[in-house]
Structure 1
């Protein structure tokens, strides 16, 4: 499952050398749903969304935010292979929406990770953040993401282990600012271990 099928020329070029397609060394692209987007209650967004928090805490990074409220890995994986990327590191945060809709999360994540790695990029998968309901669904999705990370040898940011305190949710699914910021801090721990020169 680790071998990509039908690499297009852009993938071959990027995988072959340290080409401009990989961007500068401290560059990261974010893919995910409303949790990584910082969205909640329809079209509202946190004052400091995760992309902005990451930029503030690690100013050496060039952060490209490709997150979309409500997106599933299953939907994004359909176009992911053919999307143009410049980040050296790709962060993928997906799973809860797929699990809630009983979509093929594992297949979609594997496809995205394999495509990004074939381009010569580093990939980080995040676990699922805590919720105020549907614990079994969240746990099932989190286990899938963890398994894909282990199988494909990519770092895993364990968001499920980040403490959630009373009053730190914007609604039953979406983090309010303090919890969201701590999720980014956990992600940064993994980024720093992968690219200490960018800390």
Structure 2
């Protein structure tokens, strides 16, 4: 009787580890080429309070790199400090996390570096790649802008995070939508620069 019961409960032999690995589905292009955008009005494409560019940065990224699944979490007027408070509890699925903050924090004297370091650490703990952007140019407050940009650069250098140097992107005064925000042409060039950095992180998504 025991022999019969044992025979009835027996399971087919498990597949070797190598066979199970071969049977696992390969990552889809959508999962490999995916990015989530965190930032303020510059990454949101906002200007003059409640207006938004016809092609905001998230849409420009989709146009330039159609293989990417883009999740836009940018918010007009947001600071890194504000986002850090919710960042740890948010659910993410993107392979790459782009973080663009600095000007609002610098203008308000907030601890920008502390916030950025916390977000980088959290995203990396989730197994994600992180890209930081520098600050875009402004028509006023160059000293505040430079202070914020220097803080982001320090974090990127000390934590070895890929850095999109938006301050190096050329701009003419006429290409500003207002005193702080890029117009369509300047915004597009910022995204093109970001894309070149993303290409180094995920060359297969080009």
Same fold (TM over 0.5): yes
Instruction: Give the structure with the higher percent helix.
Output: 2
> Residue 166 in 1 paired to residue 149 in 2?
no
Q: Which has the larger radius of gyration?
A: 2
Mapping 1:68-147, distance limit 5 Å: 68-147=75-154
Aligned-partner Cα distance in 1 for 2:97–2:51: 25
Q: TM-score normalised to the size of structure 2? A: 0.85
Aligned-partner Cα distance in 1 for 2:111–2:204: 36
Aligned-residue RMSD, C-alpha: 1.0
Aligned-partner Cα distance in 1 for 2:80–2:96: 18
Give the Å deviation of 1:153.
Answer: 1.0
Provide the aligned length of Structure 1 versus Structure 2: 178
> Residue 187 in 1 paired to residue 180 in 2?
no
> Residue 30 in 1 paired to residue 48 in 2?
no
> Residue 63 in 1 paired to residue 67 in 2?
no
The SS at the match of 1:24 is helix
Aligned-partner Cα distance in 2 for 1:138–1:165: 17
Aligned-partner Cα distance in 2 for 1:35–1:120: 26
Aligned-partner Cα distance in 2 for 1:132–1:82: 36
Give the Å deviation of 1:77.
Answer: 0.3
The SS at the match of 1:167 is helix
Q: TM-score normalised to the size of structure 1? A: 0.88
Aligned-partner Cα distance in 1 for 2:142–2:161: 25
- Residues 78-115 of structure 1 deviation map (CA, whole Å, 9 limit, x = unaligned): 11011000000000000000000000101000000000
Give the Å deviation of 1:42.
Answer: 1.1
Aligned-partner Cα distance in 2 for 1:38–1:138: 18
Q: List runs of 5+ in structure 1 lacking aligned partners.
A: 1-19
Q: Alignment partner for residue 185 of structure 2, among 142, 154, 178?
A: 178
| Superposition misfits of 4+ residues, deviation over 2 angstroms | none
Mapping 1:140-159, distance limit 5 Å: 140-159=147-166
Give the Å deviation of 1:122.
Answer: 0.1
Aligned-partner Cα distance in 2 for 1:74–1:173: 20
> Residue 49 in 1 paired to residue 56 in 2?
yes
